[in-house]
Amino acid sequence: MEVRGERECTACGTEWSYYETGSIACPSCGSIKSVATEAERREQTDLAPTLELDDAVAAAGDDDYRTAAERAREAARRYTHGRGFLRGGDLLDLDDTVLAAWELRYVASAFARAFDHTEAESFYFVSLLRGAPDGERPPASEVPESMRAARGNGYADAVADYRDDLRRYLDDGPEWEGIAGLLESLDDHVRRMHALDGEVPPAEADALVAAARSIGRYARDGDASAREDARETLAALEN
């Protein structure tokens, strides 16, 4: 949505930026009554949420993986629902925290449904749980085969969200050479990964993210090297 994000609270006079907080409430007094201090409306899809996993980590520490999974799934759902990639009209990066949160949604769902888990699966879940708020997640080589669909689906969902905001950004921005074709190719690979229910090697999921990030860099500043990186990565995925 397009908003005038620089605000002044009519209750206490505090000035703040909705672009940074993602909230209509005054950060000082909590009032939702404010006036804009800028004339221009700018695109904002990011609500600047926080990924809160302390309760889930505590449950995992007690070896209560089902409770940990239920708490993690809800926290990751809230976070990904509030995350976007446009802030004050600027295109953000496809960052590691949102990738970890999307992956965690699928991993936590799997853990919430099952009673028994291998040692490797439990280690992977706890590692992701502890690292997700800082964007840290196990490398592709450490993803158990039973969990690779979670990474594939999670990354495909994150890339799909990023692609949507890329298109919003380009609606009001420059039309760089070849970017429409890159986005179409990215769409194809997202659909393919979803059609396979995420069952692809983790390295392929990583490559999909790399392509989306390269397209994002190209969309922001027209960097030709980023465009070529995206083309090469997408071509490799074709093969």
Does residue 107 belong to any structural domain of this protein? yes
For residue 20, what is the enclosing H or E element? helix 18-21
Does residue 231 belong to any structural domain of this protein? yes
Residues 176 and 76 in one domain: yes
Residues 151 and 188 in one domain: yes
pLDDT the model gives residue 20: 79
**Alpha carbon distances (Å) from 40 to 4, 5, 6, 67, 77:** 6, 9, 10, 46, 32
Residues 27 and 143 in one domain: no
**Alpha carbon distances (Å) from 234 to 41, 110, 166, 195, 218:** 35, 29, 17, 17, 14
Do residues 38 and 77 lie in contact, with contact meaning Cβ atoms separated by under 8 Å?
Answer: no
pLDDT tens digits, residue range 91-110?
A: 999 999 999 999 999 999 99
SS3 96: helix
Q: Which residues pair with 34 in a beta bridge?
A: 9
Does residue 75 belong to any structural domain of this protein? yes
Closest CA to 1 of 17, 19, 16: 19
Domains in the chain: how many in total?
A: 2
Does residue 182 belong to any structural domain of this protein? yes
- Annotate 131-147 with b (16+ C-beta within 10 A) or e (fewer): bbbeeebbeeeebbeeb
pLDDT the model gives residue 160: 97
Residues 165 and 221 in one domain: yes
Range of the domain at 189: 54-238
Residues 84 and 191 in one domain: yes
Distance CA 47, CA 20 (A): 8
Does residue 48 belong to any structural domain of this protein? no
Do residues 110 and 76 lie in contact, with contact meaning Cβ atoms separated by under 8 Å?
Answer: no
- Annotate 89-127 with b (16+ C-beta within 10 A) or e (fewer): bebbebeebbbbbbbbbbbbbbbbeeeebeeebeebbbe
Residues 127 and 226 in one domain: yes
Residues 28 and 58 in one domain: no
Q: Which residues pair with 42 in a beta bridge?
A: 3
Distance CA 128, CA 136 (A): 7
Residues 30 and 119 in one domain: no
Does residue 104 belong to any structural domain of this protein? yes
Q: How many C-beta atoms lie closer than 10 Å to residue 189's C-beta?
A: 21
Residues 72 and 169 in one domain: yes
pLDDT tens digits, residue range 199-228?
A: 999 999 999 999 999 999 999 989 999 999
Residues of the chain with confidence (pLDDT) below 50: none
Residues 167 and 128 in one domain: yes
Does residue 166 belong to any structural domain of this protein? yes
The number of CA neighbours under 13 Å toward the Cβ of 95 is 17
Does residue 49 belong to any structural domain of this protein? no
Residues 192 and 127 in one domain: yes
Residues 39 and 75 in one domain: no
